[in-house]
């Protein structure tokens, strides 16, 4: 998993899976599959509602250790199965906090039976994203870039990694 910053308002998480694209797409859109992987090890997805069409909404309710809950919800803006999903996302229930709503774009690319998922989160302003970077994400991004650099160094002379 590599975290990078493609533009000044975005954070991008890239991960390659050893599976064909339609299956990876299904795992991101079918509640019975989403419930089996979405969230950290010690969290469970209790509610998973997916209305997979432009204008349709999605809602995940997660429960973690000590009964902690987390609501994630948003609206699908664009669905192009099995290639691309664009949706708004917010981790709070209150409408008034729409200023903290981000835009998520999932892109699925298959090559030789393996699928790369690129999850790009676009923040409302550069300032919001930078405040994210200045407080702690920077270390994660640094680690990601370090690993990419190491990977490129290790494979120089051979074809570039996908």
Footprint of other proteins on this chain (CB under 8 A)? 1, 3, 13, 15, 17-19, 23-24, 27, 33, 36-43, 64-66, 68, 70, 91-92, 97, 100, 119, 125, 127-128, 130-132, 134-137, 140
Alpha-carbon Rg for the chain, nearest whole angstrom, is 17
Least distance (Å) from other proteins to the CB of residue 157? 29
Report the alpha-carbon distance of residue 68 to residue 62 in Å, rounded.
8
Least distance (Å) from other proteins to the CB of residue 148? 15
Size of the chain, expressed as the number of residues it contains: 162
Q: Which residues contact 138 (CB under 8 A, 6 or more apart)?
A: none
Residue 37 in 3-state DSSP? coil
Least distance (Å) from other proteins to the CB of residue 55? 26
Which two tokens mark 156? Answer: 């120089």
Q: In this structure, are residues 81 and 69 in contact, taking their beta carbons and an 8 Å threshold?
A: no
Least distance (Å) from other proteins to the CB of residue 127? 4
- Residue owning tokens 């204008």: 55
Task: Decide whether 54 or 98 has the Cβ nearer to other proteins.
Answer: 98
Task: Decide whether 54 or 139 has the Cβ nearer to other proteins.
Answer: 139
Task: Decide whether 95 or 157 has the Cβ nearer to other proteins.
Answer: 95
Task: Decide whether 10 or 130 has the Cβ nearer to other proteins.
Answer: 130
Cis peptide upstream of residue 82 (ω within 30 degrees of 0): yes
């Amino acid at each position: 998993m590599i975290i990078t910053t493609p533009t000044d308002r975005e954070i991008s998480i890239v991960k390659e899976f050893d599976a064909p694209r339609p299956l990876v797409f299904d795992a991101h859109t079918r509640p019975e599959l989403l419930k089996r992987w979405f969230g950290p090890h010690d969290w469970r997805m209790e509610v998973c509602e997916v209305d997979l069409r432009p204008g349709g909404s999605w809602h995940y309710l997660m429960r973690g250790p000590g009964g902690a809950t987390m609501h994630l919800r948003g609206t699908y803006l664009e669905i192009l199965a099995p290639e691309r999903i664009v949706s708004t996302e917010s981790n709070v229930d209150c409408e008034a906090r729409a200023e903290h709503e981000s835009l998520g774009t999932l892109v699925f690319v298959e090559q030789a039976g393996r699928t790369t998922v690129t999850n790009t989160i676009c923040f409302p302003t550069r300032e919001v994203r930078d405040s994210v970077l200045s407080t702690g994400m920077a270390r994660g991004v640094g680690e990601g870039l370090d690993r990419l650099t190491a990977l490129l160094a290790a494979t120089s002379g051979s074809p570039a990694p996908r």
